[in-house]
């Protein structure tokens, strides 16, 4: 019988089940730590089989995957007297407290809505395992994987940037957008902006830096990302100011990802953005 939740064992094992492969790899990237390993079971049957053959400390199950899914897995755990917390994930939890309560009554350790807010997932896993995930970035605002067209304008000393691109994700605190790597960069600084980067003059930690201007639109090229198609909520463009928080380069990618933090939003702009993002999330669920 595999080792169960052994609080003295240094390595803990998270089993992700029911998620598409690309979403599994995203969770693996976000969750793996010096003391946490992430495994994958593509089906509920695979998950149940894994429980009998390997160490599993916590399960993350997508309730919308083909059965057996979250609740059947919980029932198997109960029947075999196992002590493995199950975190269940569903679009159905969004704004539905009754659905969450029913899931908890069925034996779920925690309930998370889609799209998953990483801070909530980190907290659920830390509570389930009784450990602290080290080095994990915590965000004040949840970021939503929504693609919207945008214009970027950044003008500073010897720097002029005009770019049409699109968001990769967005929140009330900031957004991330695609950008072609600049030729003059001689290096990369993880979690920050390299001094030779085109965006170094707009770095948020330089108090003398300038802001960049963003015109956020709703028009989305066909196939550009998760948000496109008929009946999408439409709205005139909104102008925002921001400073660059970090520049991300991913191996094998031909673009960079620029993460920006919004400058102080006035009340009307903030409320507009909050309402519009809510409409887009609701639209994606239909």
Residue 164 β-bridge partners: 151
Q: What is the pLDDT of residue 86?
A: 93
More confident residue, 196 or 143: 196
Q: Residue 242: which region, alpha, beta or left (left: phi > 0; alpha: psi -120 to 50)?
A: beta
The candidate with the shortest Cα–Cα distance to 74, out of 63, 85, 90, is 85
End-to-end CA distance of the chain: 44
Alpha-helical segments (H) within the chain = 21-31, 44-51, 70-79, 97-105, 118-129, 267-285
What tens digit of pLDDT does each residue of 111-155 get? Answer: 988 778 777 888 889 889 888 777 666 666 666 777 788 889 988
Q: Judging by DSSP bridges, how do beta strands 86-90 and 110-113 pair with one another?
A: parallel
Domain limits of the chain? Answer: 12-129, 149-285
How many Cβ atoms sit within 10 Å of the Cβ of residue 59? 28
Q: Which of the listed CATH numbers 3.40.50.720, 3.40.250.10, 3.40.50.2030, 3.40.50.2300 matches domain 12-129?
A: 3.40.50.2300
Pair of tokens at residue 140: 């004040």
pLDDT at 38 over 90: yes
Residues 66-88, mean pLDDT to the nearest whole number: 84
Structural class in CATH, domain 149-285? mainly beta
pTM equals 0.52
| Calpha distance 243→152 (Å, rounded) | 12
Binned at pLDDT 50, 70 and 90, residue 21 comes out as: confident
| Calpha distance 37→28 (Å, rounded) | 8
Is 163 in contact with 233 (CB distance < 8 Å)?
no
Q: What is the pLDDT of residue 212?
A: 92
Residues 90-105, mean pLDDT to the nearest whole number: 83
Q: Which helix (H) or strand (E) holds 152?
A: strand 149-156
């Amino acid at each position: 019988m595999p080792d169960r939740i052994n609080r003295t064992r240094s390595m803990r094992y998270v089993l992700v089940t029911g998620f598409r492969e690309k979403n599994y790899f995203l969770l693996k990237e976000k969750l793996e730590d010096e003391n946490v390993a992430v495994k994958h079971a593509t089906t509920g049957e695979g998950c149940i089989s894994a429980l009998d053959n390997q160490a599993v400390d916590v399960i993350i199950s997508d309730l919308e995957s083909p059965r057996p899914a979250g609740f059947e897995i919980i029932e198997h755990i109960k029947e075999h007297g196992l002590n493995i917390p199950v975190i269940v994930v569903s679009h159905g939890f969004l704004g539905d407290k009754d659905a969450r309560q029913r899931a908890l009554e069925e034996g779920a350790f925690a309930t998370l809505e889609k799209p998953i807010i990483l801070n909530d997932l980190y907290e659920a896993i830390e509570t389930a395992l009784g450990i602290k995930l080290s080095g994990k970035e915590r965000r004040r605002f949840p970021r939503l994987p929504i693609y919207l067209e945008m214009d970027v304008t950044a003008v500073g000393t010897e720097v002029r940037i005009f770019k049409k691109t699109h968001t990769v994700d967005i929140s009330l605190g900031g957004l991330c957008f695609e950008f072609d790597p600049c030729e003059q960069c001689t290096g990369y600084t993880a979690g920050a902006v390299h001094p030779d980067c085109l965006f170094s003059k707009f770095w948020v930690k330089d108090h003398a830096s300038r802001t960049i201007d963003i015109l956020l639109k709703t028009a989305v090229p066909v196939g550009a990302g998760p948000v496109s198609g008929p009946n999408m909520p439409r709205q005139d463009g909104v102008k925002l100011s921001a400073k660059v928080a970090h520049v991300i380069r991913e191996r094998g990618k031909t673009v960079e990802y620029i993460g920006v933090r919004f400058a102080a939003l006035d009340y009307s702009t903030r409320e507009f953005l909050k309402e519009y993002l809510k409409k887009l999330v609701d639209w994606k669920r239909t």
